[in-house]
Chain A
Amino acid sequence: ILNVEQSPQSLHVQEGDSTNFTCSFPSSNFYALHWYRWETAKSPEALFVMTLNGDEKKKGRISATLNTKEGYSYLYIKGSQPEDSATYLCALPTGWNQGGKLIFGQGTELSVKP
């Protein structure tokens, strides 16, 4: 059974702090990893799809790195803002040319205080 772990479960930071959290997964049979941001009362929004070992992607103040050999991905937020408060989910696609089901981690809940 594929197990995706995220840490920490929750994080409370002050506005302006930079932060990072981790997604861990089995390194064997890796194909791709998705990061999603889920704000309260909204739908999960795709941030990144990462596929290559050493991959680094950036979207504004948010960036992510991928290490498929050791089985982890880091998500970084530089200079956190209150609007960054959300649950951040990572997920691995499986089946049907990897367009099938997503196996999610339990998420990291980020709270940014003004």
Chain B
Amino acid sequence: DAGVTQSPTHLIKTRGQQVTLRCSPKSGHDTVSWYQQALGQGPQFIFQYYEEEERQRGNFPDRFSGHQFPNYSSELNVNALLLGDSALYLCASSTGQENQPQHFGDGTRLSIL
């Protein structure tokens, strides 16, 4: 039973570029959340997708956008990259039901030069 998979593992971009990160949820999960983890901090919620719609959003600018596909996989897009966007980006999937933990992928390490 495959868990949450993310690609790519690492990515290096320059300021102003655009990036797309991908996530496949754990089998049986229909809800995907994205988090940004900067050094020394806990993961910060970006947004959550359910039934191909953005259901909830954190305090991130519109440069951060996402998509969920009919097979529940998801993409995170970031436009006009800034140095401050350098971070580990985690994808988590769940059933979206109460009292259930979220299952995380290994993350994508994004470095902006």
Binding site for B on A (CB under 8 A): 4, 6, 31-32, 34, 36, 41-46, 49, 51, 89, 91, 95-107
Contact assessment for A34 and B4 in the assembled complex, using a CB-CB cutoff below 8 Å: no
Q: Main secondary structure on chain A at its contact with chain B?
A: loop
Chain B: residues with Cβ within 8 Å of the partner, total of: 32
Contact assessment for A99 and B58 in the assembled complex, using a CB-CB cutoff below 8 Å: no
A42-B106, A43-B104, A44-B104 are contacts. A101–B99 as well, Cβ < 8 Å?
no
Contact assessment for A32 and B45 in the assembled complex, using a CB-CB cutoff below 8 Å: no
Name B63-113 residues within 8 Å CB distance of A.
Answer: 90, 92, 94-107
Binding site for A on B (CB under 8 A): 3-4, 31, 33, 35, 40-45, 48, 50, 55-56, 58, 90, 92, 94-107
With beta carbons under 8 angstroms apart, the residue of B55, B97, B102, B106 that contacts A102 is B102
Cα A91 to Cα B37 with chains together (Å): 14
